[in-house]
Amino acid sequence: MKLDDIIARRSASPRRLIPPGPNEEQVRMMIEAACAAPDHRRFRPWRFILIRNDDRPKLADLFEAAAHETHGKLSEGQTQRAREKAFNGACLIAVAGVIRDDVPDVPPHEQWVSVGAAVQNILLTATSFGFGSMIVSGDKVKTRALQNGLGLNAKEQLLGFVAVGTVSKVPPATERPIVEDVLSVWPPEEAGMLT
């Protein structure tokens, strides 16, 4: 993968990530790349769950239950929209954080950084294969319906779902910050060293 591809990467809505998606070997390579994320003390604070296409109707049931859990009674339209989200993206991978809070030298925020790096590696690997991708979350990820339905234990937290597929409509370019707005030099009197 070239640097230009990394810089140009942007998210594409799961509704626009149509088949074909990654094959089984490509999915394995995306997860292998995820496992290359920085991981202090090798805690492996991430877990990935591939949602097979044949099981999307079951996931739709979970999404509907999650919507009821977070919003109470739903209209028919709200129920349909909740269920439809389970069918977006040619490939769907749930991401869970397995975060420990009992190790002072590896605090939870450091473990979440590892989870984020693992997700970014999946997104970049998908890009290298020519696919679009996006991670989606929302209030549903905190529900018991998804926690239990996906088989997560009490120590695992659902972060969201990575959707991968062929981009049916290229998203518009997003404005990104310029380097000077996000990078400073310390100490301040040395700021001229970047120029």
- Look at residues 150, 137, 146, 176 and name the one whose alpha carbon lies nearest to residue 14: 137
Q: 191 falls in which pLDDT band (50, 70, 90)? A: low
Per-residue model confidence (pLDDT) at position 190: 64
Per-residue model confidence (pLDDT) at position 194: 59
Asked if 125 and 103 count as a contact pair (C-beta separation under 8 A), the reply is no
Distance, in Å, from the CA atom of 50 to the CA atom of 27, rounded to the nearest integer, reads: 9
- Look at residues 47, 48, 59, 75 and name the one whose alpha carbon lies nearest to residue 145: 59
Looking at the chain, the number of H-run helices and the number of E-run strands are 7, 5
pLDDT over 90 (residue 160): yes
The answer to the question of whether 10 is labelled as a binding residue is: yes
Q: 192 falls in which pLDDT band (50, 70, 90)? A: low
The answer to the question of whether 9 is labelled as a binding residue is: yes
Identify the weakest region by mean pLDDT among 1-15, 20-34, 48-62, 76-90.
1-15
79: tokens are 């129920």
Per-residue model confidence (pLDDT) at position 153: 94
Residue with token string 């989606």: 136
Q: Determine what percent of the chain is predicted with pLDDT higher than 90.
A: 84
- Spell out where 35-127 has E strands: 46-51, 91-98
76: tokens are 């028919």
Q: 195 falls in which pLDDT band (50, 70, 90)? A: low
Domain 3-170 CATH assignment equals 3.40.109.10:
yes
- How far lies 42's CA from each of 12, 101, 111, 170, in Å? 31, 15, 10, 37
> Average pLDDT, stretch 146-171?
95
Q: Which amino acid is at 22?
A: P
Q: Which amino acid is at 163?
A: A
Query: Can you spell out the DSSP letters for 131-187?
Result: -EEEEE--GGGGSHHHHHHTT--TTEEEEEEEEEEEESSPPPPPP---HHHH---SS
Asked if 184 and 146 count as a contact pair (C-beta separation under 8 A), the reply is no
